[in-house]
Amino acid sequence: MNSLIQKIQPDEVYNLAAQSHVAVSFKNPLYSTLTSTSGVVSLLEIIKNIDKNIKFYQASSSEMFGGINTSILNENSLFEPKSPYAAGKLFAYNLTKIYRDSYDKFCVNGVLFNHESPLRGETFVTRKITRALGRIYHKIQSNLSLGNLDASRDWGFAGDYVRGMWMMLQHDRADDWVLATGETYTVRDFLTEAFNLVGLDWEDYVIIDKKYERPNEVKHLLGDSNKAKEELGWVPEVSFKDLVKMMVENDIDLAEKEKILIDKNLLKPTWEHKV
């Protein structure tokens, strides 16, 4: 990384690297915490020592708050991580502040609440739902297994949040900002919205499986991004309903292409509970 940054001489570095699946962080805590901690130490040391004013963005996470109650969360809220992933992210958050204060470096933390899109990994619950729905709609999958349907999240569109990341590094001073929509919905709400778009009842297809529940559940996350609105001029542009619609339409189209390949015996279904 040192050789790469010395060669490129970037103006900005965005550290998005992590093993970002919370459930996986319980199964492989060492790997998960190392990706969030050792990487940021390396990058900050390089930026500190290089003869160039490089702006640094650290991708922090709403998981650091722990969701211990239903409070709306902002930059002054207490952190109480409930997973190895969240603990690693909190280390990186604190280290970023330490380098900013100790070495007068332009280092910022973006504390981002859940941000989704059609590019979201298929093991994350939102994309797992929309991918399964597309396959159910085209009759190449019969049902979907999920864990806790009562978990509540502040879900926004990833494109809005990436714009916010960039805006943080264009600000005249380094600081930390929360990015969130200010609305929270349960997994059940997401299911209802998604399945309603194609005229189906999710209860006819969803199976509750305790193996998908976390050992230490984060029950409720709701963010307050007023500081980002006032200081950066950032506001989310894509609503929850539009986000779900975007993801459902994408995955219905994707499943249609899969069905064509399956019908031609060019693709064998490998997902769970296939017909």
Distance CA 233, CA 273 (A): 46
Distance CA 201, CA 205 (A): 8
- Known active-site residue 61: yes
pLDDT at residue number 274: 52
- Please, which contacts does 63-71 make with residues 24 or more away whose CB atoms are closer than 8 Å? 63/22, 63/89, 63/218, 63/221, 64/89, 64/90, 64/93, 64/111, 65/221, 66/218, 67/152, 67/218, 67/219, 67/220, 67/221, 69/220, 70/220, 70/222, 71/222
pLDDT at residue number 275: 46
Name, in order, each residue with C-beta under 8 angstroms of 254's C-beta and a sequence gap of 6 or more.
Answer: 131, 134
Which secondary-structure segment (H or E) carries 217? none
Q: List 152's β-bridge partners, or say none.
A: 186, 220
Length of the chain: 275
> Which one of the listed residues 62, 63, 117, 161 is annotated catalytic?
63
Q: List 56's β-bridge partners, or say none.
A: 13, 107
> Which one of the listed residues 61, 62, 117, 225 is annotated catalytic?
61
Which secondary-structure segment (H or E) carries 110? strand 107-112
This prediction has a pTM of 0.93
- Known active-site residue 80: no
264 CB burial (10 A radius; 0-12, 13-18, 19+): exposed
pLDDT at residue number 272: 58
- Known active-site residue 63: yes
Q: 10-119+154-183+219-238: CATH homologous superfamily?
A: NAD(P)-binding Rossmann-like Domain (3.40.50.720)
Residue with tokens 């060669």: 7
Asked if 154 contacts 180 with a C-beta cutoff of 8 angstroms, the reply is: yes
Q: Where are the alpha helices (DSSP H) in the chain?
A: 2-8, 22-27, 29-49, 84-103, 125-137, 158-170, 187-196, 226-232, 240-263
Q: Which of 260, 252, 259, 264 is nearest to 274 (CA)?
A: 259
DSSP 29-90: HHHHHHHHHHHHHHHHHHHHHSSS--EEEEEEEGGGGTT-SS--B-TTSPP---SHHHHHHH
pLDDT at residue number 212: 82
Q: Which residues of 189-225 are buried (b: 16+ CB within 10 A; e: fewer)?
A: bbbbbbbebeeeebeebbeeeeeeeeeeebbbbbbbb
pLDDT tens-place values along the chain, 275 residues long: 999 999 999 999 999 999 988 989 999 999 999 999 999 999 999 999 998 999 999 999 999 999 989 999 999 999 999 999 999 999 999 999 999 999 999 999 999 999 999 999 999 999 999 999 999 999 999 999 999 999 999 999 999 999 999 999 999 999 999 999 999 999 999 999 999 999 999 999 999 998 888 777 889 999 999 999 999 999 999 999 999 999 999 999 999 999 999 998 888 877 655 54
Distance CA 90, CA 82 (A): 11
> Which one of the listed residues 20, 25, 62, 85 is annotated catalytic?
85
